[in-house]
Amino acid sequence: MRNLILVLFIFLNSLLVGRQNPEYKSLILLGEKLAYNFEFDSCQSMINTAIDIAPERPEAYQIKSKIHLWYFLGSKEQTDYELFFDYSDSTVLRIDSLLEENDEDVNLLYLLGNVYKYRAMAYGNNGSTLDAFWATKKAVSLFESVLDLDSNYYSAYGGIGIFEYALSYVPALFNWALSLSGLSADQNNGFEYIKKASRLGEIDQIEYQFHLSKLYDEHLAEYDESIFVLKPLLREFPQNPLFHYQAAIEYIKSRELNKATKELEIVLQINHQKFIQTNSFSNFLLGDIYFRQNDYSKALEYYLIFLTSTQTIDYTGIASLRTAHCYYFLDNEKEFKRYNILAANGNLDLEDDKFAHEMSLFVLNKGFTDDRKVLVEVENSYLSGHESEALQIIENNLDSLVIQDIIAQVLHYKTRILIDENNIEYAKNTLEMIDTLRLESAEWIEPMSFYNLAEISYKENNFDMALTYLEEAEESNDFQKKNLIQSFINGLKRKLGNTN
Torsion angle, alpha carbons of 489, 495, 499, 500, to 10: 60
- Average pLDDT value for residue range 309-324: 96
What is the predicted pLDDT for the residue at 177? Answer: 58
**How far apart are alpha carbons 55 and 287 in whole angstroms?**
48
How does residue 185 score in pLDDT terms, banded at 50, 70 and 90?
confident
pTM for the whole thing?
A: 0.92
- Average pLDDT value for residue range 430-441: 95
Other beta carbons less than 10 A from residue 192's beta carbon: 16
- The better pLDDT of the pair 3, 494 is held by 494
Residue 394 has pLDDT above 80, yes or no: yes
Q: Where are the alpha helices (DSSP H) in 58-105?
A: 59-75, 78-99
Reduced to 3 DSSP states, what percent helix, strand and coil does the chain have, rounded to the nearest 5?
A: 75, 0, 25
Of 275, 5, 316, 315, the residue nearest 166 (C-alpha): 5
Q: Which long-range contacts (CB under 8 A, 24 or more apart) does 35-38 make?
A: 35/63, 35/66, 35/67, 36/12, 36/206, 36/236, 36/237, 36/240, 37/237, 37/238, 37/239, 37/240, 38/237, 38/239, 38/240, 38/241, 38/270, 38/272
How does residue 313 score in pLDDT terms, banded at 50, 70 and 90?
very high
- Average pLDDT value for residue range 253-267: 98
- Average pLDDT value for residue range 20-48: 93
Domains located in the chain, CATH noted: 2-261 (1.25.40.10), 275-368 (1.25.40.10)
Q: Which of 34-38, 160-164, 173-177 has the lowest mean pLDDT?
A: 173-177
Of 224, 274, 270, 219, the residue nearest 243 (C-alpha): 270
How does residue 492 score in pLDDT terms, banded at 50, 70 and 90?
very high
What is the predicted pLDDT for the residue at 14? Answer: 39
What is the predicted pLDDT for the residue at 477? Answer: 95
Residue 201 has pLDDT above 80, yes or no: yes
What is the predicted pLDDT for the residue at 3? Answer: 52
Percent of the chain with pLDDT over 90: 85
Residues 86-140: tens digit of each pLDDT: 999 999 999 999 999 999 999 999 999 999 999 999 999 898 988 998 999 999 9
- Average pLDDT value for residue range 209-218: 96
Contact 245, 5 (CB under 8 A): yes
Concatenated DSSP letters for 152-198?
T-THHHHHHHHHHHHGGG--GGGHHHHHHHT----HHHHHHHHHHHH
Residues 355-384: tens digit of each pLDDT: 999 999 989 888 899 999 999 999 999 999
Residue type, 32: E
Percent of the chain with pLDDT over 70: 93
Using alpha carbons only, give the angle 91, 97, 102 rounded to the nearest 5 degrees: 120
What is the predicted pLDDT for the residue at 17? Answer: 42
- Average pLDDT value for residue range 460-484: 96
